[in-house]
A and B are shown apart, each in its own frame.
Chain A
Amino acid sequence: MTARMNERFAALKAEGRPAFVTYFMGGDPDFETSLEIMKALPAAGADVIELGMPFSDPMADGPAIQLAGQRALKHGQTLARTLDLARRFREIDNRTPIVLMGYYNPIYVYGVEKFLDDALAAGIDGLIVVDLPPEMDDELCIPALAKGVNFIRLATPTTDEKRLKTVLRNTSGFVYYVSMNGITGSALPDPSLISGAVGRIKAHTDLPICVGFGVKTAEHARAIGAAADGVVVGSAIVAEIAASLTAEGAAGPDTVASVVRLVRSIADGVHASRLVAAE
């Protein structure tokens, strides 16, 4: 596997704080702006970057991420250009892990082997592909692991004890626990339920557990970060981008700055979580 992911989680563990995992859509609202956003994320507090690959039919996403994908596609984003974003980011940052997140079809059409080679060359550390459950591991998961690209799986509230073993097999990097049954950007459920679920998964794996879906504020992040090894924020960042755009959907004067502001404030929540937990 690429070293960046394990090094980052090991370092955070040594520091005694959870990872802040930030998601944004590659190419939203346009290539240059999203590159600027990406470059600004580590300094704003992001420990791991999830880079969204736009898809025309994002079946597991709520309205915020659906619209972000549409904006990106409208401005000519493609899978090749999303890999370009990562490559450009690596020119200034070779330590922050990058995880590509999206749906299988663009990868399938690009060609799995070529995609994995190009992703490694671009500095990608892992993949989250929503519509590839363990039953479909031959498609991408096994080839990815063989080339040293982490394959990060989603576990959900519908994943029972028996299934958890199936889900954790062939999973690497970290486990992404989806906090509720639903689409991205929905309301956050009771944090105590989440900490129970995280504990249940931890009994079966030594991998870090990151929790996402519904985390929108510093307060949420602090509550989740108390139990989990990482907190994922996506729709809130994407919604912040949307709110900053001009009426025509182009980047506004404050787009990058407002994202940085939001990420910084949530990062404060993440960093404060263990302090609270220790009290």
Chain B
Amino acid sequence: MNQTPKLNSFRSGPDEDGRFGIFGGRFVAETLMPLILDLQGEWEKAKNDPAFQRELADLGTHYIGRPSPLYFAERLTEHLGGAKIYFKREELNHTGSHKINNCIGQILLAKRMGKTRIIAETGAGQHGVASATVAARFGFPCVVYMGATDVERQAPNVFRMKLLGAEVKPVTAGNGTLKDAMNEALRDWVTNVDDTYYLIGTAAGPHPYPEMVRDFQSVIGTEAKEQVLEAEGRLPDLVIAAVGGGSNAIGIFHPFLDDESVRIVGVEAGGRGLGGVEHCASITAGTPGVLHGNRTYLLQDQDGQILEGHSISAGLDYPGIGPEHSWLHNIGRVEYVPIMDQEALDAFQLLTRLEGIIPALEPSHAIAEVIKRAPQMGKDEIILMNLSGRGDKDIFTVGKILGMEM
């Protein structure tokens, strides 16, 4: 049962029980088990159905705007004086982030399964907006669970979801962040099993979600690989992405996992530092545990109670991480490092001024890691970074911290 995927590839997981090594699995209430097995069956069929793949690709091109560009960040490269820096511009997608890639895929599945109602959880609101968008596009009612703290700090996205016709339900339990929103979405799902599809936004949760979300997001890495090869005639030396639950990261990492020459780095939210509990660095500072349907690295106390964590970025404010990342960490294929709030904030401002791109606070963490590494690398080396979302939603948060008049 605990078979690891074939050793000659890092890309063959999970096994049939949804395990990546010891991570992953299906830790859900019995009420949900038949639903998850149904979903798995439908997903197996859909992924091998040319009609499904055609529709997905067609919506990718005409609705999302794929392929997203690969952009050579010339001024940032000059400024740092080291490796050439390329951004995969997922922030240019419809709705402003990578989240839409997964939502389009899952809404097509929901339609195939005859479901009539969509629920979703959201942290920064990017997944909530993407869910509300595809629900509008396909004519589904949509309920988005969002922590009350996040409702406050991501007000523009709350407004967008409402405009799109979704009902936003603030969750006050716990600290009112992503973890609590996910609990509440699971409670809704267990209550409305007959008609409801749970559109999970990250590569976590019970099998088959981690695999399915990864596959929908892998379009990022597949495109980027072709684009880098076309631009440079070779693979990048380093691929970097920010990791909360980890869907944008696994999306860009996965197609590169078997390319030995490519170093891969995931950037976790270091918050106010790893010394206390005010961070969300599940891998760097957490331990394995079971939450939200899967075994993975978690921020927890010695009694197995889940901690709340903290990040300046609502999208990274989650005490766990997708199970495939936990496995990639354990086997040493991907390196995971923390970036502090202040470093992300500095990177946010630097990119805005140098490249005229306002990044979301989530990929600002990845930019901060690029800022650290690029100067240490040769000018003939190449960094590929996933610029997973745009920062419009964060301008009020950042403005407040910088003391700007709004």
Which residues from chain A sit less than 8 Å from chain B, CB to CB?
A: 54-62, 66, 73, 78-80, 103-110, 130-136, 138, 153-160, 163, 167, 178, 181-183, 186
Which residues from chain B sit less than 8 Å from chain A, CB to CB?
A: 1, 17, 25-35, 173-174, 179, 183, 186-187, 190-194, 287, 289-293, 295, 298, 300, 302-306
Most B CB contacts (10 A, CB to CB) among A134, A138, A182 go to A182
- Cβ 8 A contact of A56, one of B27, B32, B302, B305: B305
- Cβ 8 A contact of B304, one of A62, A66, A110, A153: A110
Closest to B34 in A: A158
Interface of A: prevailing SS: loop
Most A CB contacts (10 A, CB to CB) among B287, B293, B302 go to B302
Query: In the complex, what's the smallest C-beta–C-beta distance from A183 to chain B, in angstroms?
Result: 5
Closest to A110 in B: B304
Bound form: Cα–Cα A55–B303 in Å: 9
- Cβ 8 A contact of B190, one of A60, A78, A103, A133: A60
Instruction: Establish whether residues A109 and B302, one from each chain, have CB atoms under 8 Å apart when the complex forms.
Output: yes
Instruction: Establish whether residues A105 and B29, one from each chain, have CB atoms under 8 Å apart when the complex forms.
Output: no
Instruction: Establish whether residues B191 and A158, one from each chain, have CB atoms under 8 Å apart when the complex forms.
Output: no
- Cβ 8 A contact of A135, one of B33, B192, B303, B304: B33
Instruction: Establish whether residues A135 and B30, one from each chain, have CB atoms under 8 Å apart when the complex forms.
Output: no
- With A78-B303, A105-B304, A106-B303 already in contact, the answer to whether A59 and B292 are too (CB < 8 A) is yes
Instruction: Establish whether residues A55 and B27, one from each chain, have CB atoms under 8 Å apart when the complex forms.
Output: no
Instruction: Establish whether residues B31 and A156, one from each chain, have CB atoms under 8 Å apart when the complex forms.
Output: yes
Instruction: Establish whether residues A159 and B186, one from each chain, have CB atoms under 8 Å apart when the complex forms.
Output: no
Instruction: Establish whether residues A105 and B30, one from each chain, have CB atoms under 8 Å apart when the complex forms.
Output: no
Query: In the complex, what's the smallest C-beta–C-beta distance from A57 to chain B, in angstroms?
Result: 5
In the bound complex, residues from chain A placing their C-beta under 8 Å from that of B306 are: 56-57, 105
Instruction: Establish whether residues A154 and B30, one from each chain, have CB atoms under 8 Å apart when the complex forms.
Output: yes
- Cβ 8 A contact of B291, one of A105, A157, A178: A105
In the bound complex, residues from chain B placing their C-beta under 8 Å from that of A131 are: 27-29, 290, 293
Instruction: Establish whether residues A60 and B34, one from each chain, have CB atoms under 8 Å apart when the complex forms.
Output: no
Instruction: Establish whether residues A178 and B300, one from each chain, have CB atoms under 8 Å apart when the complex forms.
Output: no
Bound form: Cα–Cα A164–B28 in Å: 16
A-B contact pairs, 18 of them (CB 8 A): A56-B174, A56-B306, A57-B292, A59-B183, A60-B187, A105-B298, A108-B295, A109-B289, A109-B300, A133-B29, A156-B29, A158-B34, A158-B35, A158-B193, A160-B34, A181-B190, A182-B190, A182-B191
Bound form: Cα–Cα A135–B32 in Å: 12
Most B CB contacts (10 A, CB to CB) among A58, A109, A178 go to A109
Query: In the complex, what's the smallest C-beta–C-beta distance from A154 to chain B, in angstroms?
Result: 5
In the bound complex, residues from chain B placing their C-beta under 8 Å from that of A58 are: 183
Instruction: Establish whether residues B190 and A105, one from each chain, have CB atoms under 8 Å apart when the complex forms.
Output: no
